[in-house]
Amino acid sequence: MKAEIITIGDELLIGQIINTNQAYIAEKLNTVGIDCDRMTTVGDSPTVITDSFTAAFNRVDVICVTGGLGPTHDDITKKMVCEFFNTELVMHEETLEHIKALAQRRNIAMIQSNTDQALVPKSCTVIPNFVGTAPGMMFEQNEKYFFVMPGVPFEMKEMLDNWVIPFLLKKNDGSVVLHRTLKTTGIGESMLAKEIGDVEPIIGTDGTVTLAFLPNQMGTKLRITVKDTSSDSAKMKLQHAELLLRAKAERYIYSDDEKDLEDVIGELLKERKMTLAVAESCTGGLIANRITNVPGSSEYFLGGYIVYHNNMKMQSLGVPEKLILDHGAVSKVVAESMAHGARMTSQSSVALSATGIAGPTGGTPEKPVGLVWIGYSDAESTFALKFNFGDYRMRFKDRASQAALELLRRKLLKMM
């Protein structure tokens, strides 16, 4: 079965709200083997809404519509659905009772617009809304299924998870869809594609397996998708593709379950009962911030030194003034001294450091904007590596923080 998702609302078309419903619905449909072919977002305009219904109904078997079911004048979805299915609104007593009970519990007086919410198209199957007032609707016609749900994400999710998806699971044609995402970093998309080489041996030629490269400033995700008729065969194909990919790119893969690098290094540190401190100049606290986004990070993260000013490098971390004068604050020896100083001062097992030129100004021909030294220190060694992360400040910080965490991951796994 193929699906389309139609989201309705002026607030989406002016970019006031980011459309999270689409992605949520698509992901859930996917889990029951239904591919979403297209997503359409339209405003509270009768002709465009009807047009989108017609087009989707002609193309696919499952249509999921959200939005425009509220009690205000610009919520016209119910009216448009009635016209589309050539039916009329009737009072749905169960829904009315539910709304009355809800109003009473919340201590709100019932007004006309509340009562109107219990009006539903005569020919639909009502999908109960246990967490709000607007009921959902399902129309079945020529083995096509047309669902209408509220736009409030919380209400939509409840209805989708507990009514729509179980309903579709029973109707589904038996195809199985599996995904695996391998997150890589420390290598560009093009180089990664080159290392992996010809994808045909990995994904085969029968079209059941696909591989996508999804790059962002943190690295490139490799997404394997298998669509098959049996669960066993799908699992085998997924495993096969993953093994072959790993054989080519294992070194760069830090997660196969959507975890971020800060989660991964957190687990590695916990397993090893090690503690971490950071000394940041150019990244300005981003490394520490990412590490502390992980619940429970206080178990292994002792703290950080944001040594923006050179005095702080000297005073907090004991970086010798002579090193800064002779080599500059952005230098291999200062990065090393920062990492070493952070480890000694905090008494941590390992420490990371970053010193560089985030830009947009402050570069020289010898030390251009984008240059960064990432330092590492443990009881056995202290060293620093040189990178260039470009001249856009925010991305520079993201990439430098990612490189620091990746360096730690590789050291903890004895990959370097």
Residues 244-273 that bind a copy of itself (CB under 8 A): none
Instruction: Kindly report the backbone phi and psi dihedral angles of residue 38, in degrees, each rounded to the nearest multiple of 5, phi listed first.
Output: -165, 145
- Pick one of 174, 207, 296, 365: the residue that binds a copy of itself (CB under 8 A): 296
- Pick one of 58, 86, 105, 174: the residue that binds a copy of itself (CB under 8 A): 105
Which tokens go with 247? 């054989």
| Closer Cβ to a copy of itself, 192 or 412, answer by number | 192
Q: Minimal distance in Å, beta carbon 86 to a copy of itself?
A: 24
Between residue 146 and residue 165, which ones bind a copy of itself under the rule CB under 8 A?
A: 152, 154
The answer to the question of residue 28 lying near a copy of itself (CB under 8 A) is: yes
For tokens 């699971």, the residue is: 169
Cβ–Cβ < 8 Å for 122, 88 = yes
Cβ–Cβ < 8 Å for 227, 175 = yes
What's at 310, amino acid-wise? N
Between residue 333 and residue 352, which ones bind a copy of itself under the rule CB under 8 A?
A: 345-347
| Closer Cβ to a copy of itself, 169 or 212, answer by number | 212
| Closer Cβ to a copy of itself, 127 or 218, answer by number | 218
Q: How far apart are CA 157 and CA 163, in angstroms?
A: 10
Other Cβ atoms less than 10 A from the Cβ of 360: the count is 11
Q: With CA atoms as reference, report the closest residue to 183 among 154, 153, 151, 219.
A: 219
Q: Name the one range near a copy of itself by CB under 8 A: 162-170, 266-274, 291-299, 377-385.
A: 291-299
- Residue 373's alpha-carbon distances to 77, 128, 322, 332, in angstroms, are 56, 58, 18, 6
Q: Name the one range near a copy of itself by CB under 8 A: 24-32, 118-126, 141-149, 244-252.
A: 24-32
| Closer Cβ to a copy of itself, 229 or 293, answer by number | 293
For tokens 């609707």, the residue is: 137
Per-residue binding string, a copy of itself, 179-218, x by CB under 8 A, is x-x------xxxx-xx----x----------xxxxxxxx-
The answer to the question of residue 30 lying near a copy of itself (CB under 8 A) is: yes
> Parallel, antiparallel, or unpaired: how do β-strands 2-8 and 62-66 relate?
parallel
Query: What residues have CB less than 8 Å from 173, skipping those under 6 apart?
Result: 1, 33
Q: Minimal distance in Å, beta carbon 389 to a copy of itself?
A: 8
- Residue 222's alpha-carbon distances to 162, 185, 240, 244, 416, in angstroms, are 31, 11, 14, 12, 23
Q: Degrees (nearest 5) of the Cα angle 367, 373, 376?
A: 165
Q: How far apart are CA 124 and CA 86, in angstroms?
A: 11
Q: How far apart are CA 390 and CA 250, in angstroms?
A: 26
The answer to the question of residue 111 lying near a copy of itself (CB under 8 A) is: yes
What's at 104, amino acid-wise? Q
The answer to the question of residue 175 lying near a copy of itself (CB under 8 A) is: no
Which tokens go with 40? 């359409």
Between residue 376 and residue 415, which ones bind a copy of itself under the rule CB under 8 A?
A: 388, 390, 392-395, 397
The answer to the question of residue 287 lying near a copy of itself (CB under 8 A) is: yes
Q: Name the one range near a copy of itself by CB under 8 A: 100-108, 160-168, 243-251, 406-414.
A: 100-108
| Closer Cβ to a copy of itself, 141 or 154, answer by number | 154
| Closer Cβ to a copy of itself, 140 or 189, answer by number | 189
Cβ–Cβ < 8 Å for 66, 25 = yes
Kindly state the number of chain residues that form the binding site for a copy of itself, as judged by CB under 8 A. Answer: 112
| Closer Cβ to a copy of itself, 69 or 323, answer by number | 69
Between residue 66 and residue 95, which ones bind a copy of itself under the rule CB under 8 A?
A: 70-74
Q: Minimal distance in Å, beta carbon 360 to a copy of itself?
A: 5
The answer to the question of residue 174 lying near a copy of itself (CB under 8 A) is: no
